[in-house]
Amino acid sequence: MIETRLGDFEETILLLVGILDQEAYAVRISEEFQNQTGRKVSIGAVHSTLNRLTEKAFLTSEMGDATAKRGGRRKRIYQITASGQQALRESRDFKQALWQQYPPLATGNLSFDS
């Protein structure tokens, strides 16, 4: 049975695919990950995560047009499926429910200052 929950990195990659839309190919996703998080990520980690999300049916992909910039090579463009959208909603809702139970938040005394 294929695991259908999202890990944190998977969730981030899936969100980036949605943000990037027609520019959601591995190198661009990797660049955007660094822009958004300030952390570098290997292209191999991005590829393996995209493959895993595709196996879970959260993503589909198709080959884009060849470009001179890429030496005539084509990019694999990823898109979120309805199942992927649902997985993102469930992940968001679960985390929001946890945050609402966090005592300092529930009392209005949320402060991370020490």
Please give the pLDDT value at position 99. 85
- Per residue in 39-62, pLDDT tens? 999 999 999 999 999 999 999 999
The answer to whether residues 58 and 111 touch, using CB atoms and an 8 Å cutoff, is no
Q: Residue 73: its pLDDT value, please?
A: 77
Q: What percent of the chain has pLDDT over 90?
A: 64
* Mean pLDDT, residues 8-37 taken together: 94
Domain locations along the chain: 8-106
Supply the pTM of this predicted model.
0.80
Pair type for strands 74-80 and 59-66? antiparallel
Residue 2 has pLDDT above 70, yes or no: no
Q: Which CATH architecture has domain 8-106?
A: Orthogonal Bundle (1.10)
Model pLDDT for residues 74-87, shown as the tens digit of each residue:
889 999 999 999 99
CA distance 80 to 108: 36
